[in-house]
Chain A
Amino acid sequence: MRGRRVLGLLGAGLVAGWLVVAGVSPSLVPYSPRQVDVMARLKPPSAGHVFGTDALGRDVFSRVLVGSRVSLPSGFTVVLVAAVVGTLYGGCAAYGSARVEEGLMRVTDLFLSFPPLVLAMAIAAALGVGVRNTVLAMFVVWWPKYARLARGLVLGQRSLDYVEAARGLGLGGARTLLRHIVPNTVGPIVVLLALDVGNAMITFAGLSFLGLGVVPPTPEWGAMVSDGQALIDQWWVSTFPGLAIFSVVVGFNFMGDSLRDWLDPRRER
């Protein structure tokens, strides 16, 4: 139990650290992330270039730090918008008539019958390269799981004794929903959110790796791994941006994991 709390704190620390980096990195980095220096191309890590330089002589360390300004906000945006839209959708389905519910949930099933990356890839390719388009493509495949979760949660709560008690005491439907059902369903949604941000960042980086994310030369982690993927002997070009993705995602997953234990004591068993 204590070990998990330590992991949670460690994760929160990692995430907080990256948020600070995303905020202040432009004034912090030793080199401009776009500054090309052909004389210094593919230099291994050294005191001058801690993470080495890439094929155009750009400083990998600076690019990794500044890259957080694309990856963090896009991951957050996808997950937050998807969570809000999905939860509302699922909540409506759970509160609607049986036929409305059936219809609404069939639509989510439809989206869930694709592997998310394949569908997002097709949409992103059709929309054209750019951060906004990629985020939009990811949103299309992202909201259904929140809809399904929210529907299940609201349905599960609706039949519980305490809800019936609240109704029996004469509380109206809206008040029961907001004061009693919603507080009890927020926990699992928050847990899914925390675990999902990392997931979204990996997917975004993956699309970017395929050339469907950012317009070069914008520094972005997935695109940077892709830049160096053929440079097996110059391992630093791909390794450090990948390590950045890994560390942020590990941070979110540590946080989400202990959050889950904390919010759901039954999982303790």
Chain B
Amino acid sequence: MALRYVLKRVVACVLMALAATLVVFLVAHTVPADPVLAQLGDKASANPETVARFRTRWGLDRPLWQQYAIFLAGLARGDLGESIASRRPVMDDVRQYAPATIELSTLAAFLTALVGVPLGVLAAVRRDRLADHLVRLLCLFGVSAPTFWLAFLALALFYGGLEIAPSPGRLDAGAVPPPHVTGLFLADSLLARNWATFRAALAHMILPAVVLAASTVGLVTRTTRASLLETLGQDYVRTARAKGVAEALVVRRHALRNALLPVVTLGGLAYAELLAGTVLTETIFSWPGLGRYTYQSAVALDFPAILGMTFLVAAVYLVMSLIVDLSYVVLDPRVVRR
């Protein structure tokens, strides 16, 4: 039963990711923008011979369905095509930029859970008291501040003003990155037992991670609060209280476990969104990650790179919601039967 449920979800996932690329492919080809102009510039585009050669080279002279079929055929071989801008396989570009994003968004997701869940529990337990109001206000402020502005304020204050934060980027300019194993600087410097680099990499990551977490903490806190309040009103909680179970234990052992289901859903999607590239934060913090890569590809109308990233982003999103659904099977076995 459970296996069939999982299989069905996986197949649906793959189909959705493919459909997502089709949407982007069609959107990209129906808009008036011309990649030739974006790539070659005004001067070279004036020469019809250059333009024709460029179109043939990148397959832009073929019918639309052929172009898409070529993309699909490549995908079947695990090949995302070649980027027009970098002249390298998109897969290589992704491999180069992904670790920076993975490292940063994982830390941000960790911070979000670490701060958001306890705050939500606090607000629910002290409902309508001062602590609840303060947490609510804090959350509203958190979701109202534009990330790119917070990032600027953080840099201006801690790097420019107080000079306690390191410069933007993954390491100081000129610093030697740890020997490449995973591409994750934290993991690689640990493997090389290079504590100085580990500390530097971590220090560079703290500010952008806090800025990223600021926008997600609000959502997690509010979901935790609402969901916990709902469970605290359930009969089995009343039973536990009537049995004389200590209030702290009622919250932790009986209510919170069930209350965390919606939080897991939201957290999973928020993490996927972080992984998909945190364009704005990466731009301000000069972070060489997938967000900046996607942005640069979009501006350059680098179709193969955009399509490849779309597929990856949609895949990450769908896999994340798949993991969330599957975690329900463990957290709440009743879902399978529904």
Contacts and interface: CB of A to CB of B under 8 A. Distances in A.
Interface string B266-304: 000000110011011001100000000011001101000
A150 B276 CA distance: 28
Interface string B145-168: 111110011011001110000000
A128 B33 CA distance: 7
B260 interface: no
B141 interface: yes
Contacts of B152: 225, 228-229, 238-239, 242
B282 to A, nearest CB: 11
Given A126-B27, A202-B146, A246-B149, A113 B276 contact: no
A254 B33 contact: no
A68 B137 CA distance: 24
B75 interface: no
B28 A253 contact: no
B317 A115 contact: yes
Interface in A221-257: 222, 225-226, 228-229, 232-233, 235, 238-239, 242-243, 245-246, 249-250, 253-254, 257
Contact of B160 (A1, A198, A232, A243): A232
Most B CB atoms within 10 A — which of A113, A127, A246, A253?
A113
B144 A118 contact: no
Interface string B15-28: 01101100110011
Contact of A253 (B143, B149, B284, B317): B143
A110 B298 contact: no
Interface stretch (A30-38, A181-189, A205-213): A205-213
B31 A123 contact: yes
A242 B149 CA distance: 6
Interface of B is mostly: helix
Interface residues of B, number: 55
A104 interface: no
B117 interface: no
B160 A233 contact: yes
A245 B149 CA distance: 9
A166 to B, nearest CB: 30
B48 interface: no
Contacts of A269: 229-230, 233
A109 B9 CA distance: 14
A125 interface: yes
A121 interface: yes
A68 B295 CA distance: 26
A77 B133 CA distance: 32
Contacts of B295: 121, 210
Nearest to B153: A239
A138 B212 CA distance: 22
B245 interface: no
B2 to A, nearest CB: 23
Interface stretch (B77-85, B189-197, B306-314): B306-314
A114 interface: yes
Contacts of B283: 209-210
A117 interface: yes
A250 B141 contact: yes
A146 to B, nearest CB: 18
Interface in B156-189: 156, 159-161
Interface string A164-200: 0000000000000000000000000000000000100
A24 interface: no
Nearest to B321: A113
Contacts of B144: 198, 202, 246, 249-250, 253
B210 to A, nearest CB: 17
B160 A115 contact: no
B318 interface: yes
Nearest to A124: B298
B140 A254 contact: yes
B28 A110 contact: no
B172 to A, nearest CB: 16
Contact of B16 (A113, A211, A246): A113
A3 interface: yes
Nearest to A242: B149
B191 to A, nearest CB: 31
A84 interface: no
Interface in A84-131: 109-111, 113-115, 117-119, 121-128
Given A3-B133, A210-B279, A269-B229, A205 B160 contact: no
B178 to A, nearest CB: 28
A204 to B, nearest CB: 10
Contacts of B27: 122-123, 126, 140
B277 to A, nearest CB: 6
Closest CB pairs A-B (n = 6): A242-B149, A232-B160, A125-B298, A126-B31, A249-B144, A250-B144
25 contacts: A7-B140, A110-B19, A110-B20, A110-B23, A113-B16, A113-B314, A117-B280, A118-B276, A127-B31, A127-B32, A205-B146, A205-B148, A206-B147, A206-B148, A226-B148, A229-B148, A229-B152, A239-B153, A242-B149, A250-B140, A253-B140, A254-B140, A257-B136, A257-B140, A269-B233
Given A210-B280, A235-B156, A269-B229, 18 more contacts: A110-B16, A110-B20, A113-B317, A114-B20, A115-B313, A117-B279, A117-B280, A118-B279, A118-B309, A122-B310, A125-B301, A198-B144, A206-B146, A229-B148, A239-B156, A246-B144, A250-B141, A257-B136
